[in-house]
Amino acid sequence: MVGLSQLDAALGEWAGAVLRGAGEVVNGISGAARVYGAAVQAREIHGGVHVHGAVPAVELPVPRQLLAPPGCFVGRAADVVVLERSRDATGGLLVVLSGPAGVGKTAFASYWLQGLTGEYPDGQLYVDLRGYAPEGPGAQAEPVEALGGLLRAFGISSVPGTAGEGAALWRSLTAGRRLVLMIDNAFSAAQVRPLLPGAPGSLVVVTSRSRLTGLGIDGAVFHQLDRLEAESAIEILRGRVGAARVAAEPEAARAVVERCDGLPLAVCVAAARIASRPRQSLAVTAAALDGEADRLAALRLEGTASAVRGALDASYRCLGPEAARLYRLLGQLPVAVFGAAVAAAAYGSEAALRPGQEELLLEALAEVNLVEELGPDRYRFHDLVRLHARELNAEGEDAAVRRVAEWYLSAATAAEALITPTHRRLARDYLAVRPLPPVPFAADRAAALAWLEQQQDELAAVLRSAAERGWDGLTWQLADAMWPLYHRLRPYPLWIEGTALGLAAARRTGDPAAVGRMLTDGGGGLRNGGRPEEAVPLFAEALELARRDGTRLEEAQALHGLGQAHNLAGRPGEAVRYFEEALALRREIGYDRGAALSVLMLGDVRIALGELDSGLDLLARARAELLALPDPYEAARALALSGRARIGGGEFALAEEELAAALAEFRSCGSRHWEAHTIEMLGELAVAQGEFEAARVRYGESLEIYRSVGAPDSVRLEGRISALPGGPGGPDQERARQ
Q: Which of 480, 563, 580, 477 is nearest to 527 (CA)?
A: 563
* Report for 129-133, 250-254, 309-313: range of highest mean pLDDT: 250-254
Cβ count near 345 (within 10 Å): 28
Q: Is the pLDDT reported for residue 278 higher than 50? A: yes
Mean pLDDT is lowest, of 123-127, 396-400, 493-497, for: 396-400
Task: Report whether 709 contacts 159 (CB < 8 A).
Answer: no
CA distance 385 to 309: 9
Distance from C-alpha of 49 to C-alpha of 55, rounded to nearest angstrom: 16
pLDDT in tens, 144-162: 889 988 998 888 877 777 8
- List C-alpha distances in Å: 493 to 105, 159, 212, 475, 648: 31, 10, 26, 17, 36
Residue type, position 392, single letter:
L
Distance CA 128, CA 135 (A): 15
**Phi and psi torsions of 156, nearest 5°:** -90, 105
State the DSSP code for 5.
H
Model confidence at 386: pLDDT above 90: no
| Statement: residue 42 has pLDDT above 80 | no
Contact (CB, 8 A) for 692 and 177: no
Cα torsion through 672, 677, 682, 687, rounded to 10: 140
Tabulate helix, strand, coil % of the chain (nearest 5): 60, 5, 35
Average pLDDT in the 610-615 region? 94
Q: What is the pLDDT of residue 356?
A: 81
Mean pLDDT value across residues 361-369: 82
Residue 585 contacts residue 552 (beta carbons within 8 Å): yes
8 Å CB contact between 403 and 345: yes
* Distance from C-alpha of 64 to C-alpha of 505, rounded to nearest angstrom: 41
Rg (CA), the chain: 30
- Which CATH code, of 1.10.10, 1.10.8, 1.10.3470, 2.60.40, is assigned to 321-395? 1.10.10
**pLDDT score at 211:** 79
Give the start-to-end residue ranges of the domains of the chain. Answer: 4-52, 77-224, 230-316, 321-395, 633-738
Q: pLDDT tens digits, residue range 158-188?
A: 777 788 888 989 998 898 889 999 999 898 8
Question: For 445-460, what is the mean pLDDT?
Answer: 90
pTM of the model: 0.65
Instruction: Identify which has the larger pLDDT, 446 or 471.
Output: 471
Using an 8 Å Cβ cutoff, are 599 and 621 in contact? Answer: yes
CA–CA separation, 714 and 719 (whole Å):
9
CATH of segment(s) 633-738: 1.25.40.10
> C-alpha 642: how far from its chain's center?
34
CATH architecture of 77-224: 3-Layer(aba) Sandwich (3.40)
Element (H, E) at 224: strand 221-224
Dihedral of the CA atoms 9, 14, 16, 20 (nearest 10)? 160
Task: Determine contact, residues 316/400, Cβ cutoff 8 Å.
Answer: no
pLDDT in tens, 509-566: 999 999 999 999 999 999 888 899 999 999 999 999 999 999 999 999 999 999 999 9
3-state secondary structure 235-255: HHHHHHHCHHHHHHCHHHHHH
Can you say how many angstroms the Cα of residue 617 is from the centroid of all Cα atoms in its chain?
40
pLDDT-based confidence at 126, cuts 50/70/90?
very high
pLDDT of residue 332: 92
Are 374 and 380 within 8 A, CB to CB?
yes
Q: Starting from the edge strand earliest in sequence, which strands make up the sheet with 180-184, in order?
A: 124-128, 180-184, 203-208, 93-98, 221-224
Check residue 554 and give its pLDDT: 94
Burial class (CB in 10 A: 0-12, 13-18, 19+), 447: middle
Q: Are 239 and 72 in contact (CB under 8 A)?
A: yes
- Categorize the per-residue pLDDT at 295 as very low, low, confident or very high, splitting at 50, 70 and 90: very low
Q: Which of 485, 559, 491 is nearest to 519 (CA)?
A: 559
Q: Which of 214-218, 303-307, 402-406 has the lowest mean pLDDT?
A: 303-307
State residue 13's pLDDT score.
Answer: 45
Average pLDDT over residues 362-370: 81
Residue 7 has pLDDT above 70, yes or no: no
Q: How confident is the model at residue 44 (pLDDT cuts 50, 70, 90)?
A: low
What pLDDT score was predicted for residue 402?
A: 94
Q: What is the pLDDT of residue 350?
A: 54
| 56: pLDDT strictly greater than 80 | no
Average pLDDT over residues 704-708: 79
Check pLDDT > 80 for residue 294.
Answer: no
DSSP 119: G
